[in-house]
Structure 1
Amino acid sequence: MKESKEKIKSFKAYKRRKRNKNKRGVLLIVLIASIGIGNLCIYEISSSLKYDIYYLEKDLKKKQNKLEALEVENIGDKSSNNLEEEASSKLNMIYPTEYQKRYISVDD
């Protein structure tokens, strides 16, 4: 407020004061534009990272499901192998040879 009430002594001082006001306005506009561009860059980077995270989680879920299926299959194989081993060792069950097999014919 004091500056506006003071009398300007020369034309050079008037031009200098006017340039300072213009510089402040330009600096303010440049500052606001740079903040806006910075926000857009940050938003783009965060969106890209969210996109990558989504597809990585999706891929992880597929791989976990595949791992679970393989574990179930492995457990099934182990149990059938264990069952066969127990039958042959503990119960003395063995596969019959060809001469021990008997075929039955069924007539209608």
Structure 2
Amino acid sequence: MKEKNEKVKSFKAYKKRKKNKNKRGIFKRKSGILVLVLIVAFGIGDLCIYQISSSLKYDIYYLEKDLKEKQNKLQTLEVEKRVNQNSNKIEKDAIKKLNMIYPTEYQKKYISVDD
């Protein structure tokens, strides 16, 4: 074994032989830096998630607004369809626009169908 009082020939040999008594301090510093890095990474990740969710909420708002407008337009078109399908309206339009009239009795021709 080497004696404690032995002289060291070089600084490298001294460093190899010397034991680091302050290992806990090194780990504390490294773990403190690691915790700091994790906190910063968590904060940045949280901001990114908030930004994404905000943009999605913005898109949802405008899609819902567009959907309401289209539903209102659909309702008005359905009302117009019902009005146009009314048989009285169709009859009036046929008489006015197309000059269609009901045939009289002498204009009617009956066809007999043999069973």
TM-score tier (shorter):
0.5 to 0.7
Identical counterparts, % of pairs: 10
More helix per residue: 1 or 2?
Answer: 1
Note the C-alpha offset of 1:24: 1.1
TM-aligned CA distance change 1:60 to 1:81, over 3 Å: same
Query: In structure 2, what is the equivalent of residue 105 of structure 1?
Result: none
Residues 63-95 of structure 1 deviation map (CA, whole Å, 9 limit, x = unaligned): 000000000000000001101111xx1453225
Query: In structure 2, what is the equivalent of residue 20 of structure 1?
Result: 21
Query: Rg larger in 1 or in 2?
Result: 2
Residues 38-86 of structure 1 deviation map (CA, whole Å, 9 limit, x = unaligned): 0100111111000000010000000000000000000000001101111
For normalisation by structure 1, the TM-score amounts to 0.68
Query: In structure 2, what is the equivalent of residue 78 of structure 1?
Result: 78
2: CA distance between counterparts of 1:49 and 1:28?
31
Q: What RMSD in Å do the two structures reach over aligned CA positions?
A: 2.3
Query: In structure 2, what is the equivalent of residue 106 of structure 1?
Result: none
2: CA distance between counterparts of 1:46 and 1:79?
49
